[in-house]
A and B are shown apart, each in its own frame.
Chain A
Amino acid sequence: MAVQRSGESSYQIEGVYLGQTAAVVGPKEGEGPLADWFDRIWPDEGTRYPSYEKAEQALLSEAESIALDKSNMTWSDVDVVVGGDLLDQLITTNFDARSHSRPMLGVFSACASFTEGLALASLILGQGGPSTALVTAASHHLSAERQFRFPLELGYQRSPTASWTATASGVAVLSTRRSDLRIDSLTIGRVLDWGSHDPNDMASAMAPAAVDTMVRHLEAMGETQAHYDAIVTGDLGRFGLTLAQHLAAEEYHVSLGEKLQDCGEMLYDIQQQDVHNGGSGPGCSAGVFSGYFAENLRSGRLHRILLVATGALFSPKSYQQGESIPGIAHAIAITRQEEGQ
């Protein structure tokens, strides 16, 4: 176990491994192209719960149980839980933690909370602290709509750049116990504000942060994009992907091309499912990573990926007061250990 700093906020990690992962998603996500990769798909948005906030907690706790079952672990094997969500005062994460009562670190980077959790857990595990961490993130479309937009039944037209908060949760077990997938390195992002004001266009607010973190990570590690099979952003969506590719190429001379993928763009069939720019929310990157990417790493179809989830850091109050929307992105590189290594 070791953590070695390299550059301003990048760290090389040794001896921390990605164990089992689990993803539970809502019905709309279950109709998307990634349906086969999720552990469980809910038949509805959780109408059996008295509120959608409670449904979001259940979504999270189901994914946690599945991840623990897959790992043959019980809650007492978990040294620390690092998790985040979108709702005020992290009620999803914290209220869920009432039932498991494990040591809890709540984190918030909006939709980048999952990568913040992975990065934080890797750092503390890598320095000989706890030896097993559960990293979690969840979001629910309807509870997010209630908090950020309008009452559900109030009619309004979504703008073409608006994203669709995913009903999804993702959980990953990080451990110092050896497994096939190794946490390789990470970069802690910084908050960038390039003056975006439109809460219906988070792609413009987050793309600069994504590219900044990505480029700083590659520089600090002395790598190029060729070192990765995929560089995966969280919820830039279709528009944001174009922006990030352009920004990286024009301003930083990094040509990402097909390597750059986006969880929000992959989660839905954007045309058929009418989600405009694509999926968003902490659960989006958490679910797509825990379901799709982690499985592809395990099966060996992917060998090395850089997950760079982004978050738009605004509250309903901040944009009503005319504040611009800052963005943040944290990067984490995961490598598959080949035989004999």
Chain B
Amino acid sequence: MGIDVRNKVNPDRIRRFQDYANRIRPQKTVGINLAWAFLVGGAISLFGQGVMWAFEHEGFSSQAAATPTSIVLVGMGALLTGLGWYDRIVKRGGMGGSLPITGFANAIVAPAMEYRSEGLVLGIGAKLFTVAGPVLVYGMAMAFLVGVARYLLGTS
């Protein structure tokens, strides 16, 4: 049994509609978005550099300073998320807010707060890495492949 022909819509009609929709669909303001992403991302990186500089000033080597720096930035991101401000930073700054490590903190802290109502284990515990999980999985997988390649090529 086929579908009743009365319910079939002329494919040309659908195509004309989709063409029209694509033509008049409100577009993202790409130029402004890029400028904000640059400014916000740059500002967070600059702040990170300042923190790193402070730790180096306190006697950390430039490599050793990276660890406390990332902890401070993650702490900042977590605090701003908790206060409900980080989503506003990202709303304006887009990837400028999401790409820095503070955004990584936001991606973990937001689900932690969110799923509290579903319980400590199945809520927070299970959902903590919903957003950050994929990043870790594929980051780790790629780093492993790079490590293997370097090991085999002896450049390690």
Least CB distance, A307 to chain B, in whole angstroms: 23
Q: Who on chain A is nearest to B27 by CB?
A: A160
A-B interface, 7 closest residue pairs, ranked by CB to CB distance from nearest: A155-B90, A151-B114, A154-B110, A160-B26, A153-B110, A151-B110, A155-B87
Contacts of A101 in B (CB 8 A): none
Picked from A150, A157, A192, A194, the residue with its CB within 8 Å of the CB of B91 is A157
Check: A303 CB closer than 8 A to any chain B CB. no
Interface assignment of A257: CB less than 8 Å from any CB of chain B: no
CB <8 Å contact, B86 and A155: yes
Q: Is the CB of A155 within 8 A of B103?
A: yes
Query: Which chain B positions have C-beta within 8 A of A146?
Result: 114
Indicate if the CB atoms of B24 and A242 lie closer than 8 Å. yes
Partner of A161, one of B7, B25, B81, B106: B25
Say how far A302's CB is from chain B's closest CB, in angstroms.
30
Q: B16 and A204: CB pair below 8 A?
A: no
Give the residues in chain B near A8, CB-CB below 8 Å: 6
CA distance A221 to B154 in the complex (A): 81
Contacting pair A155 B89 (CB below 8 A):
yes
Within 8 A of B (CB), among A73-94: none
Note all chain B residues with C-beta closer than 8 A to A318. Answer: none
Listed stretches A169-177, A222-230, A246-254, A289-297; interface member:
A246-254
- Smallest distance from the beta carbon of B22 to chain A beta carbons, Å? 9
Residues in chain A near residue B103, CB distance under 8 A: 155
Complexed CA–CA distance, A50 and B116 (Å): 10
How many interface contacts (CB-CB < 8 Å) are there between A and B?
97
Residue of B nearest to A52 (CB): B117
Describe B's contact surface by its main secondary structure.
Answer: helix
A153 contacts B18, C-beta separation under 8 Å? no
A-B contact pairs, 19 of them (CB 8 A): A8-B6, A51-B117, A151-B111, A151-B113, A152-B87, A153-B110, A154-B110, A155-B91, A156-B90, A156-B98, A160-B26, A194-B9, A208-B9, A239-B26, A243-B17, A243-B21, A250-B20, A251-B17, A277-B26
Counting CB contacts under 8 A, is B74 at the interface? no
B110 touches A251 (CB 8 A): no
Chain A residues with Cβ below 8 Å from B27 are 160
Known A161-B25, A192-B9, A239-B25; contact A153-B84, beta-carbon cutoff 8 A: yes
Count contacts on B: residues with CB < 8 A to the other chain: 41
Q: Which residues of A contact B82 (CB under 8 A)?
A: 153
Note all chain B residues with C-beta closer than 8 A to A201.
25
B115 within 8 A of partner (CB): yes
Secondary structure of the A contact surface, majority rule: loop
State in angstroms the CA–CA spacing of A242 and B14 once bound together. 16
> Across the interface, do B117 and A161 meet the contact criterion of CB distance under 8 Å?
no
A164→B65 CA distance, assembly (Å): 44
Q: Specify the chain B residue showing the minimal Cβ separation from A156.
A: B90
Complex contacts, B73 vs chain A, CB 8 Å: none
Q: Does B33 contact A (CB under 8 A)?
A: yes
CB neighbours of A152 from chain B (8 A):
87, 110, 113-114
Q: A192: which B residues are within 8 A, CB to CB?
A: 9
Q: How far is the CB of A268 from chain B (nearest CB, A)?
A: 16
Chain A 179-213 interface residues, beta-carbon cutoff 8 Å to B: 190, 192, 194-195, 201, 204, 207-208
* B131 at interface by CB-CB < 8 Å: yes
**A157 & B87 in contact (Cβ 8 Å cutoff):** no
Closest to B93 in A: A155
- Interface residues in A4-43 by Cβ distance below 8 A to B read 8
> In the complex the two chains form, what is the Cα distance from A161 to B28 in whole Å?
9
For the complex, is B101 an interface residue (Cβ under 8 Å from A)?
no
A151, A195, A277: most-surrounded residue (chain B CB, <10 A): A151
- Give the chain A neighbours of B14 by CB distance below 8 A: 194-195, 208
| Least Cβ–Cβ distance between A4 and chain B, in angstroms | 21
Min Cβ gap B11→A in Å is 10
Check B52 for interface membership: any CB of A closer than 8 A. Answer: no
Does A72 reach chain B (CB closer than 8 Å)?
no
| Cβ contact within 8 Å between A155 and B21 | no
Chain B residue numbers with a CB within 8 Å of A194 are: 9, 14, 17-18
Neighbouring A residues of B7 by C-beta, 8 Å: 190
A153–B16 Cα gap in the complex (Å)? Answer: 39
The answer on a CB contact under 8 Å between B33 and A157 is yes
Q: Is A320 an interface residue (CB 8 A)?
A: no
Residues of chain B within 8 A of A161, CB atoms compared? 25-26
A150 with B18: CB separation less than 8 A: no
Q: A159 at the A/B interface (Cβ < 8 Å)?
A: yes
The residue on A at minimum CB distance from B87 is: A155
A124 to chain B, nearest CB (A): 25
